[in-house]
Chain A
Amino acid sequence: MSALVDNLPALLAGLGTTLFVLVTSAVGALVLGTLVVVARVSPVPVLRAAAFGYVQVLVNVPLLALLLLAVFALPDAGLIAPLVTTAIVVLTVYEAAYVAEALRSGINTVPKGQVEAARALGFTLSQTLRMVVVPQAARAVVQPLGNVLIALLMNTALTATVGVVELTSATNKVNLVQAEPITIFGAAGLVYMALALVIGLGAGRIEKKVAIRR
């Protein structure tokens, strides 16, 4: 137990980095993912193809490969940024693909008849989306988006492999000195579970609030 208390500052600093990376890349991924999905459903073929390609590439390539590429390889091409910034950018770009897919599956849950009814009433595309599709799709995507955020939380741990000292990395460092793996890894595991629980419960609450009773 004292191994934990003595190293609390290091572990808390790690937790702080995890939270910082989590929040910034979550915001970034939500924004970028929304843009991608807008391109994906737009009537412009070029944008649709680009969004499709974007999602396909990022869903099929391991995050770790992208992290190594960005952190170790791209500096050779003159593209270099501070380590944490690079990690956040990679996580944002990677996770945006999953956000886009979650949003798209939400749009698909809106029955076609709803859209057709809106069109029959003479709504334009932006009116249809704004007043008919998005309000209904939003309710269906809360839980999937929560799951994407939980996955993002777990993926922040991967930044440890390229040298970001976040919670997993800090835990490992403390354990190398203290050699009390069960206590130290157990504590870190509990923190991750608690964070995931917070995201999950938050999503559940929001979902309940926006749910439509049919």
Chain B
Amino acid sequence: MRPPETAYLYDEPGPRTRRRIRIASVVSLVVLAGALALMLRQFASRGQLDADRWSPFLSWPIWEYLLVGLRGTLLAAAVVAVLGGALGVLLALGRLSPLRPLRWLCTAFIEVFRTLPVLLLIYLMLFGLPAYGINLPVLWKLVVPLTVANSAAIAEIVRAGVLSLPRGQTEAGYSLGMRRLQVMRAVVLPQALRAVTPSLVVQLVSLLKDTSLGYVVAFTELLYRAQVLSAYNRLLVQTFLVVTLVYLVVNGSLSALASRLKRRTTKTAAPVAAAVPAQPGAPAVEAPRA
């Protein structure tokens, strides 16, 4: 068994502690297995575990149907990632700009859209704006609110990265006669973005989860397809569990990538900050207080 990363919290267990740990292991295993068994029994008592309720998910057409949804999810996530990433970097630069009006504008944008629920923005797109003659295609009804919300989160991540760089980097750039924007582009941003890459990947996971709101705007993505499918085959429990599993696999691999990148960057560079997985609203990295 691999020693846990928090192993430094306790001494090497002696014979008596080892026995206690063994007992605790058995007890917790029994409790967890018992809980699982109870749940399975509950499912079985309603016939939810019957083979004919699960066998449809072994057939290709169902998967084909769901994979079209997954394609929509990935498409929406990619569009939001590209647009939100670009907008986020610009906002971060704006917030760090010496121009006061620009700084205030970007700060206001970031602070507002970091605290508004995405669903409120989506309802505004769906039911509010058409009254003013603004009626976008369905993909954009999902992508625009997500881009706005995620760009604010990405801007804070990028800003944290820029602020975490030693000042000497910027000063060295200036002393070489570079302009502010040149220093940003050639010296600060490349290093800052590298430092926050793990946080950006974590934000990508959060963004991919957000695309499930396509369910609300009726955009063909994974969760919406699951909803349509379950309305058709009446296998609600099975369909939603399968879709949850698909999300888990896709996002789990992204998260694994993020932690691998994190291990790599912490080996080469100083860690940026304690990272908490990103979710709508919470900046993935704590921006150092200015």
Main SS at interface, chain A: helix
Instruction: Tell me the count of chain B residues lying within 8 A, CB to CB, of chain A.
Output: 69
Q: For the complex, is A45 an interface residue (Cβ under 8 Å from B)?
A: yes
Given A65-B212, A115-B8, residue A73 in contact with residue B230 (CB < 8 A)? yes
Q: For the complex, is B52 an interface residue (Cβ under 8 Å from A)?
A: no
Q: How would residues 48 to 81 of chain A score, 1 for a CB under 8 Å from any chain B CB and 0 otherwise?
A: 1010000011011111111011001110111100
List, in ascending order, chain A residues with CB within 8 A of B282's CB. Answer: 98, 144, 147-148, 150-151
- CB of A168 within 8 A of CB of B124, answer no
Q: How would residues 146 to 173 of chain A score, 1 for a CB under 8 Å from any chain B CB and 0 otherwise?
A: 0110110111111011000000100110
Cα separation A154 to B112 with both chains bound (whole Å): 12
Q: For the complex, is A196 an interface residue (Cβ under 8 Å from B)?
A: yes
Which residues of A (101-128) have their CB < 8 Å from a CB of B? 101-102, 105-109, 112, 115-116, 119, 125, 128
- CB of A157 within 8 A of CB of B127, answer no
Q: For the complex, is B128 an interface residue (Cβ under 8 Å from A)?
A: yes
Given A60-B252, A61-B209, A68-B223, residue A161 in contact with residue B215 (CB < 8 A)? yes
CB distance from A81 to the nearest CB of B (A): 13
| Closest A residue to B2 using CB positions | A45
Q: For the complex, is B43 an interface residue (Cβ under 8 Å from A)?
A: yes
| Closest A residue to B273 using CB positions | A105
Which residues of A (68-101) have their CB < 8 Å from a CB of B? 68-69, 72-74, 76-79, 97-98, 101
- CB of A185 within 8 A of CB of B236, answer no
List, in ascending order, chain B residues with CB within 8 A of A135's CB. Answer: none
| Closest B residue to A57 using CB positions | B248
List, in ascending order, chain B residues with CB within 8 A of A189's CB. Answer: 112, 116, 120
Q: For the complex, is B277 an interface residue (Cβ under 8 Å from A)?
A: yes
List, in ascending order, chain B residues with CB within 8 A of A101's CB. Answer: 276-277
Which residues of B (189-235) have their CB < 8 Å from a CB of A? 205, 209-210, 212-213, 215-216, 223, 226-227, 230
Segment at the interface with A among B24-32, B162-170, B171-179: B24-32
Q: How would residues 22 to 58 of chain A score, 1 for a CB under 8 Å from any chain B CB and 0 otherwise?
A: 0000000000000000001111111110100000110
